[in-house]
Amino acid sequence: METALTTLILPAGEAAVREAARLLARGGLVAFPTETVYGLGADATNAAAIARLYQAKGRPAFNPLISHVGDLEAAGRIGRFNETAALLAQAFWPGPLTLVLPKAAGCAVVDLATAGLETIAIRVPAHPAASAILRAFGGPVVAPSANLSGHVSPTSAAHVRSDLEGLIDLIVDDGAVEVGVESTIVGCFEHPALLRPGGVPREAIERVLGQALVQLPKDAESDCGQPLAPGMLTSHYAPRTRVRLNASTVAPGEALLAFGHPAKGADRAACVMNLSARGDLNEAAANLFGYLRALDARQAAAIAVMPIPNEGLGEAINDRLRRAAAGREDLGRQ
Ligand code: TXA
Ligand code: MG
């Protein structure tokens, strides 16, 4: 049995940053806010710390982690930038974009963090607390979303507590995050590929590159037979309650996750939460995971989700909703 730890919870600020850097240097696990979702950080060069991180999250070790660094210079020490990567870093860092690149020679990130791949995923987050922690620590920090593997990603320190209290050393609390969905992941391959839609809309990336991003099949492999998109497991962001997509009406006993004007039958729903009454996709992204958690707690017959336009952050929202519904989508009409 794992012995329960005392998880320290500190408000974001100088003391929290110092304590976070101290704990990371000792192989500790530190949850901290980023602009996308809360991350669970560990020293990317410390295999024992990363083994603890995989264990705390219950994450399959074949799913690699993102290395977070404070700036482009630090990123250049662990990844090899080609022209695509340089353009995107220049346009979107710091920010909700992760680049997948070949590992740099002498990259200090351990193989356990990259699941033995020859590539590495790198991100420079734009949140002041995250930047301060990365600066104070001074090395790369792996940080998956700070939830139990398979659960909905955390957009507040309270979400992190409910999943990981007693399993990690520190939670740095800075309230609700701004973006609400994880970073967009772009593979900077010969043909730049969208590996995960996220906080930077596809359209903005394509504008900077002057070309369309390719979509890799889930089982795409490199020349050496390694997976190129290892994170595309179908069921991932899973509430316990069944999720029904594209709902135009609500059945009695169902909870409704609305977007815009609520669907027919909303008045008899067990509970209604509106991602954005005014139909704003950025607002909807920021509310998505918190509302999914809240509706899941109502133990309704199902969570009926209204259609979301597939543009801007809508692509990331629909990706997360499809995964939330994977394997249990009810195709019957309601
Ligand atoms: O916004 C975010 O990216 C958040 C915050 C905390 O920064 N982090 C996050 O990490 O979402 P995580 O571990 O939940 O998702 C990392 C994704 C996984 O789907 C993984 O498969 C993919 O990144 N990934 C990591 N390294 C990769 C690589 N070398 N090639 C392709 N995909 C990779
Ligand atoms: Mg995650």
What average pLDDT does the chain have? 92
The CATH number of 8-221, from 3.90.1150.10, 3.90.870.10, 3.40.50.300, 3.55.50.30, is: 3.90.870.10
pLDDT of 333 higher than 60: no
Measured by CA distance, the residue closest to atom 10 of ligand 1 is 144
pTM of the model: 0.91
Residue 225 reports pLDDT greater than 80: no
Per-residue pLDDT, averaged over 208-235, amounts to 80
* pLDDT greater than 60 at residue 2: no
Q: Is the pLDDT of residue 248 over 70?
A: yes
- The two structure tokens encoding residue 296: 């899941």
**What does the pLDDT read at residue 223?**
78
Which band of pLDDT confidence, cut at 50, 70 and 90, is reported for residue 228? confident
Q: Is 85 in the pocket of ligand 1 (CB under 6 A)?
A: no
Query: Which whole number is the average pLDDT over 212-223?
Result: 85
Of 103, 99, 98, 125, the closest CA to residue 114 belongs to 103
pLDDT at 206: 98
Which residue did the predictor score with more confidence, 216 or 201?
Answer: 201
Q: What is the pLDDT of residues 264-273, one digit of tens each?
A: 889 989 999 9
Nearest residue CA, atom 22 of ligand 1?
231
For ligand 1, atom 6, name the residue with the nearest CA. 39
Ligand 1 centroid–CA 277 distance in Å is: 31
> For 22, what's the count of Cα atoms within 13 Å in the CB-facing half-sphere?
8
Q: At a CB cut-off of 8 Å and minimum separation 6, what does 89 contact? A: 72, 75, 81, 99, 124
Residue 26 and residue 11: Cα distance in Å, rounded? 21
The pLDDT of 286-308, averaged and rounded, is 95
CB atoms within 10 A of CB 96: 27
Instruction: Report CA(316)–ligand 2 centroid distance (Å).
Output: 13
Judge if 8-221 and 243-325 fold alike in CATH terms: no
Which residue CA neighbors atom 9 of ligand 1 most closely?
144
At 71-103, the pLDDT tens digits run: 999 999 999 999 999 999 999 999 999 999 999
Burial of 50 (0-12, 13-18, 19+ CB in 10 A): buried
Q: What residue owns the CA closest to ligand 1's atom 3?
A: 183
Where is pLDDT greater, at 330 or 39?
A: 39
Burial of 210 (0-12, 13-18, 19+ CB in 10 A): exposed
More confident residue, 63 or 309: 309
> Atom 21 (ligand 1): residue with closest C-alpha?
231
Q: For domain 243-325, is the CATH number 3.40.50.11030?
A: yes
pLDDT in tens, 148-202: 988 899 999 999 999 999 999 999 999 999 999 999 999 999 999 999 999 999 9
Most confident range, picked from 59-63, 113-117, 171-175, 238-242: 171-175
Q: Is 143 in the pocket of ligand 1 (CB under 6 A)?
A: yes
Report pLDDT for 235.
Answer: 55
Cα(92) to centroid(ligand 1), Å: 17
Domain ranges of the chain: 8-221, 243-325
Question: Does residue 218 surpass a pLDDT of 60?
Answer: yes
Residue-level pLDDT at 323: 87
Question: How far apart are alpha carbons 171 and 157 in whole angstroms?
Answer: 7
> How many other C-beta atoms are found inside a 10 Å radius of the C-beta of residue 95?
19
Residue 3 — very low, low, confident or very high, per pLDDT cuts 50/70/90? low
Look at residue 227 in the predicted model and tell me its pLDDT: 77
Query: Measured from the CB, is residue 145 less than 6 Å from ligand 1?
Result: yes
* Paired strand residues for 193: 187, 214
What's the Rg (C-alpha) of the chain? 20
Number of helical (H) and strand (E) elements in the chain, helices listed first: 10, 14
DSSP structure class, residue 221: B
Mean pLDDT, range 241-246, rounded to an integer? 95
Q: How confident is the model at residue 63 (pLDDT cuts 50, 70, 90)?
A: confident
Instruction: Give the nearest ligand 1 atom to 179 CA.
Output: 1
Per-residue pLDDT at 329: 43
Q: Which ligand minimizes its atom distance to the CA of 236? A: 2
Q: Is the pLDDT of residue 334 over 50?
A: no
User: Which atom of ligand 1 is nearest to 40's Cα?
Assistant: 6
pLDDT at 69 over 80: yes
Residue 66 has a pLDDT of: 97
Neighbour-count burial of 165, counting CB atoms closer than 10 A to its CB (0-12 exposed, 13-18 middle, 19+ buried): middle
